Amino acid sequence: MNGAGLEERVARIEGILSQMDKRLNHVETEIAGLRDELRGEIEGLRAELRTKADKWEIRIWFLLILLLMTVYQFLR
């Protein structure tokens, strides 16, 4: 094997590695974007659940007070 053939092969491998690096950087950027999008969606769901939980908590307290008032009226 002569030196020129080896240099061609090394150059070809370097080109392939360079191309892989570009593609992996693109994949990494895409993953980071998806991760940020997912975090945003999760935060939105958490906020929605907190709002719904707060509404249910208010309803439960209202019903509990109403029940206590009814029991108090009945026992009087």
pLDDT computed for residue 2 by the predictor: 72
The model's pTM:
0.58
Closest CA to 11 of 23, 3, 26, 25: 3
pLDDT computed for residue 65 by the predictor: 95
Rounded distance between C-alpha atoms, residue 21 and residue 17, angstroms: 6
List per-residue pLDDT tens for the chain, 76 residues long: 577 788 999 999 999 999 999 999 999 999 999 999 999 999 999 999 999 998 999 999 999 999 999 999 988 8
Rg (CA), the chain: 33
Task: Dump strand ranges (E) for the chain.
Answer: none
**CA 19 to chain CA centroid, nearest Å:** 30
